[in-house]
Structure 1
Amino acid sequence: MPMIRRLRRIVRRVQRKAVDLSHPSRSPLGSAVVNCVVYRGGKRQSGSWAGLSGPEALRRVREEGDGFVWIGLHEPDEQEIAALAEPFALHPLAVEDAVQAHQRPKVAPYDDTLFAVFKSVCYVEHDELTATSEVVDTGEIMVFTGRDFVITVRHGRHGSLGPVREALEADPEQLAKGPSAVLHAIADFVVDEYLSVADAVQHDVEAVETQVFSPDAGRVDPGRIYQLKRELLELKRAVAPLARPLAVLAERRNALIDPGVQAYFRDVGDHLTTTVEQIASFDSLLDSILQAHLAQVTVAQNEDMRKITAWAAVIAVPTMVCGVYGMNFEHMPELGWRYGYLLMVSVTAVACFLVHRGFRRRGWL
């Protein structure tokens, strides 16, 4: 089983595509701005549109009255995001949240902008789970959605949105629906990562379960189970709070959400519900595994105590005989008999044998 799980992880590493920095949607610009692209009619604009700053691209889009701007940022500081706050009319509270990060998943409307926060998660590969292993790493993706722009702010070393850009650019019909299509694609991408991480964590849970119920269960470190529960709790904190924001996006009418896109958020919500239920089942299973392990430890301790007690009872027989005949009395039975020593040794050996046999029959030895 451990070999099979190791092979599965190797396959997952191979299946993951390497980041292609030559692709325009993944080319870093040397600052917090990862990319700034204009889309019109579902197609990426090049030529005179390429190389424009965010405010300049937004100005041209509004002058021509068609298309939208998608700006990607990675861990911007206050000055970098302040340069976009005024031209894009971003609310100060949302800007503060985007800079400081560490926010709960939410969807908040601010005037003509919709601010969404998603927790991104990543499974940390490890050869063997230990009491200090990091299993789940979290980050944040924040999305400002307007009528003619999308600004994504990413915190953390994972959760690159390059694949999302590529998938949307390969589907011009969906991308033509505007910024709300980008918001849906990001939500769908985040929830799909939740499912992948939950599947990977399942292998760790199965590994712990197998070890607990193996013949060497007494050597299992309970700290590994507690560590996995802590990592599972971190995953739950990232996943569960997103249910309400997705319900809001799927059910409430919003001028910034295209009606043709709104129904898709319901499907994302269904996938999230599946993940939440899966995580809850893992947590319940780990509780049962921990209780089973503690019960096994208790049973093993009881068996050890029974063995110690049985051997103590066996040793008590010669101890009693030696204690009696070790007394300094002048007149005691068989003290002057020639075969007294042989008789006492024989009686003691037979008594010890009978006591030992009785404990063996009862399974104490």
Structure 2
Amino acid sequence: MTDTEIPRAATGGSSADRPAPLRPRPAGPPRTTPSRPDGVGPVVDCGIYVDGHRREAADPRDALAEAVAQGGFVWLGLYAPTEEELGTIAEQYGLHPLAVEDAVYAHQRPKLERYDDGLFMVFTTATYVEHDRLTATSEVVDTGEVMVFLGPHYAITVRHGEHGGLGDLRRSLEQQPDLMCQGPASVLYAVADLVVDSFVDVAGAVEEDVDELEASVFSDRRTDDIGRLYQLKRELMSLRRAVSPLEVPLQKLAERQIDVVPEAMRSYFRDVEDHAIRVRDQVAGLDELLTSILQASLARTSQADNEDMRKISAWAGIIAVPTAIAGIYGMNFEFMPELQWRYGYFLVLLVILGSCVLLYRGFKRNGWL
């Protein structure tokens, strides 16, 4: 079965086969789901896992019943499903309509919600965008989303965005049957661990950009880094919004008794929580450092402007002397000193030159030039 054959509601069929609509959408501009490339269906992979081992690829429409019969669970991976596509799967797996709506329209804050005997968790993913040089318009952090529906016999991952694929994670997790024996909660842990590890990588890369900007601001040459600092601060805010809200959901998974999360998995979530806290502190530190660098850059710019203004004022004062003298002698009065003297012209030039030299030395001594 191909991805495009799932679910049936997306390919037509009778009205009886179609899922019930989600709750009425809130007022305001409609939210949209990122489109998939042409020819790519919503289902990335669907497997049944029993005793920590994958049995076979399965049809999502029958996978849950097969998993329950075999005493295992289903891991269904979806990529940017539409409302109709996810609605069909929601009927088959008993997903709550509110969680389904959040998964379809995305743009959610990281959170953990409990519906009946299932969980719904939202992660904001992040990746570092490589660039030759940071500019005032550079994109540094690209974000996406991964949602996880968790039940006693299923784990459904829904991905939005161009990055954050879980194919490598699935293959890596399948090599750890002891962990997979813990059931669907192992999938939630693996996704959380992957997301937080990506935050660590992004924060480390952003820190290099911060170091480069800091060196530029405090270098001897005059640079205009304010635009680049604001841009990096905005990009860092995207990472902060992804990391900070994740602490509370991970704390709940690590400390509270939840039916679909075995007690043995709590220590795993506690470890992820520790990593998330460290990344949160690192991002907060980088944000504070950027604020300090921005203030230093503004102060250096203001200082440079003051120095320029003092230099301009000093030269204006020096130029005012010959201007004033030339202006007086240009009035063409009949009785003016030294007009008839042979060396009067040279005397005036010496007075102008001497005055300018004295003023120059005075300004130089006071640091104005």
Distance 1:263 1:74 in 2: 30
> Match for residue 56 of structure 1?
62
Which secondary structure does the structure 2 equivalent of 1:72 belong to? strand
Residue pair 2:117, 2:151 contacting (<8 A) in 1 also: yes
> Which of 337, 360, 363 pairs up with 1:359?
363
> Which of 34, 38, 55 pairs up with 2:44?
34
> Match for residue 285 of structure 2?
281
Residue pair 2:225, 2:297 contacting (<8 A) in 1 also: no
Distance 2:117 2:61 in 1: 17
CA deviation vs aligned residue, 1:21-66 (integer Å, no higher than 9, x gap): xxxxxxxx941100000111101113xxx3x3113121122223x1
> Match for residue 14 of structure 1?
none
Residue pair 2:216, 2:225 contacting (<8 A) in 1 also: no
Question: Does residue 206 of the first structure (1) align with residue 211 of the second (2)?
Answer: yes
Distance 2:316 2:68 in 1: 92
> Match for residue 133 of structure 2?
128
Residue pair 1:115, 1:143 contacting (<8 A) in 2 also: yes
Distance 1:337 1:61 in 2: 117
Q: Following TM superposition, by how much is the alpha carbon of 1:322 offset from its aligned partner in structure 2, in angstroms?
A: 1.7
> Match for residue 190 of structure 2?
185
Residue pair 1:143, 1:152 contacting (<8 A) in 2 also: yes
Identity of aligned residues (%): 55
Distance 2:320 2:272 in 1: 72
Amino acid of the residue matched to residue 131 of structure 2?
H
Mean CA deviation greater in 283-292 or 318-327? 318-327
Paired residues for 1:26-175 under 5 Å: 30-46=40-56, 50=57, 52-64=58-70, 66-175=71-180
Distance 1:182 1:348 in 2: 86
Amino acid of the residue matched to residue 142 of structure 1?
M
Distance 1:267 1:183 in 2: 13
Distance 2:348 2:306 in 1: 34
Question: Does residue 231 of the first structure (1) align with residue 235 of the second (2)?
Answer: yes
Structure 2, unpaired ranges of 5+: 1-38
Q: Following TM superposition, by how much is the alpha carbon of 1:323 offset from its aligned partner in structure 2, in angstroms?
A: 2.3
Task: Give aligned pairs, total.
Answer: 331
TM-score between the two structures when normalised by the length of structure 2: 0.87
Distance 2:264 2:290 in 1: 42
Distance 2:341 2:141 in 1: 80
Q: Following TM superposition, by how much is the alpha carbon of 1:102 offset from its aligned partner in structure 2, in angstroms?
A: 0.7
TM-score between the two structures when normalised by the length of structure 1: 0.88
Residue pair 2:213, 2:225 contacting (<8 A) in 1 also: no
Runs of 4+ in 1 over 3 A off after TM superposition: none
Q: Following TM superposition, by how much is the alpha carbon of 1:320 offset from its aligned partner in structure 2, in angstroms?
A: 2.1
Residue pair 1:211, 1:220 contacting (<8 A) in 2 also: no
Distance 1:312 1:57 in 2: 85
Which secondary structure does the structure 1 equivalent of 2:135 belong to? coil
Residue pair 1:188, 1:268 contacting (<8 A) in 2 also: yes
Amino acid of the residue matched to residue 60 of structure 1?
E
Q: Following TM superposition, by how much is the alpha carbon of 1:82 offset from its aligned partner in structure 2, in angstroms?
A: 1.6
CA deviation vs aligned residue, 1:206-231 (integer Å, no higher than 9, x gap): 11111111122x33241111110100
Which secondary structure does the structure 2 equivalent of 1:333 belong to? coil
Amino acid of the residue matched to residue 41 of structure 2?
S
